[in-house]
């Protein structure tokens, strides 16, 4: 339900007064930003189906020593209506324009999942000149797999598989999305998402009114992305955080690939965490990030 809310399929609620700002991107998109604390800048970039709210337990701790900025990316949280397509390149441009708008000098950039891909796209497009340090959370530099790359989603998600899922969503968003959510949510949620259940009927009605094309453009952009070569040239301090029980990458030796590719990278594995270590263990994550920043940024 949190992901449905963050995608705008159910109500998103109102922000708390005083903590929110925004900037207007070069194409006119207004991007809301939660700003907390004061000090050296720290930018938090959320994943698919998330929003700035997912960062708040970490952000409030880090705001004791930093100016923490966490946006709602296009098509997420309160960043709507969406102008045009959403792509990693567009969001990397948004990030560059956000740094300009707030006058951020060598911020630490932290990205989870899609947010990590956004940071990789930013580094590919703009380099590391304006970056103090980078932290990537549970994300492969290429999510699709083939015979020569087995470190993408689930250790075996081909471009054809993802293309088929995206094509299904373009044909019938409601059935494709609710089937996926039901499968992930377990038997109870699956029963309540069928077409003749009240929740299932309500969500199908709402989804029928949503223009999903920008989010599917984003999915295609992520499926096409490949930042392996870019990370070979990574010269900023890098922290990589992985969840050992991640449904996306459990059993996939991403830690070894990052160690081999970015020799100076610091790798941290959370044995009991899934895809979102910063959510399941916010205190540990905040402490490790602060230590990393103190040592390297």
Can you give the pLDDT at residue 216?
87
Q: How far apart are CA 134 and CA 21, in angstroms?
A: 23
Can you give the pLDDT at residue 10?
46
Can you give the pLDDT at residue 17?
46
Can you give the pLDDT at residue 12?
46
pLDDT tens per residue across all 297 residues of the chain: 455 454 554 444 444 545 889 999 999 999 999 999 999 999 999 999 899 999 999 999 999 999 999 999 999 999 988 988 899 999 999 999 999 999 999 999 999 999 999 999 999 999 999 999 999 999 999 999 999 999 999 998 898 888 887 787 777 666 666 766 666 667 887 777 777 788 878 877 766 666 678 888 999 999 999 999 999 999 999 999 999 999 999 999 999 999 999 999 999 999 999 999 999 999 999 999 999 999 987
In this structure, are residues 238 and 139 in contact, taking their beta carbons and an 8 Å threshold? no
Q: How far apart are CA 47 and CA 189, in angstroms?
A: 22
- DSSP-derived secondary structure for 20-82: EEEEE-TTS-EEEEEEE--SSEEEEE--TT--GGGGHHHHHHHTTTSEEEEE--TTSTT--SP
Q: Could you tell me the fold of the domain covering 2-157+228-296?
A: Rossmann fold (3.40.50)
Q: How far apart are CA 233 and CA 218, in angstroms?
A: 25
- Upstream peptide bond of 274 is cis (omega within 30 degrees of 0): no
Can you give the pLDDT at residue 174?
66
Using N-to-C axis directions, what is the helix angle for 88-102 and 213-224, rounded to 10°?
100
Can you give the pLDDT at residue 97?
98
Q: How far apart are CA 233 and CA 185, in angstroms?
A: 39
Using N-to-C axis directions, what is the helix angle for 198-208 and 173-185, rounded to 10°?
140
Can you give the pLDDT at residue 251?
93
Can you give the pLDDT at residue 189?
77
Can you give the pLDDT at residue 72?
97
Question: Token pair for residue 162?
Answer: 């993802």
Q: How far apart are CA 50 and CA 257, in angstroms?
A: 27
The answer for residues whose C-beta is within 8 angstroms of residue 42's C-beta and 6 or more apart is 62, 66, 67, 68, 69, 107, 108, 110, 293
Residue 264: count of CB within 10 angstroms of its CB: 11
Q: How far apart are CA 168 and CA 93, in angstroms?
A: 29
């Amino acid at each position: 339900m949190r992901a449905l809310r963050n995608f705008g399929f159910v109500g998103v609620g109102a922000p708390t007064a005083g903590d929110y700002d925004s900037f207007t991107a070069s194409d006119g998109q207004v991007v809301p930003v939660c700003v907390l604390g004061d000090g050296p800048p720290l930018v938090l970039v959320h994943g698919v189906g998330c929003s700035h709210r997912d960062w708040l337990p970490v952000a409030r701790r880090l705001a004791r020593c930093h100016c923490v900025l966490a946006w709602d990316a296009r098509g997420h949280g309160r960043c709507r209506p969406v102008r045009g397509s959403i792509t990693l390149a567009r969001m990397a441009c948004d990030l560059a324009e956000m740094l300009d708008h707030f006058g951020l000098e060598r911020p630490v950039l932290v990205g989870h999942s899609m947010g990590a891909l956004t940071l990789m796209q930013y580094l590919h497009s703009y380099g590391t000149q304006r970056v103090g340090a980078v932290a990537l959370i549970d994300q492969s530099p290429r999510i699709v797999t083939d015979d020569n790359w087995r470190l993408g989603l689930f250790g075996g998600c081909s471009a054809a598989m993802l293309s088929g899922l995206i094509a299904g969503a373009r044909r019938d968003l409601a059935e494709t999305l609710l089937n996926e959510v039901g499968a992930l949510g377990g038997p109870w949620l699956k029963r309540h998402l069928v077409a003749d259940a009240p929740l299932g009927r309500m969500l199908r009605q709402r989804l029928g009114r949503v223009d999903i094309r920008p989010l599917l453009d984003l999915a295609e952009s992520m499926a096409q992305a490949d930042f392996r070569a870019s990370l070979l040239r990574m010269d900023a301090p890098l922290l990589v955080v992985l969840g050992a029980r991640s449904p996306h990458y459990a059993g996939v030796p991403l830690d070894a690939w990052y160690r081999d590719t970015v020799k100076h990278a610091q790798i941290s594995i959370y044995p009991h965490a899934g895809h979102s270590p910063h959510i399941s263990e916010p205190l540990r994550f905040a402490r490790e990030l602060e230590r990393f920043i103190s040592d390297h940024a």
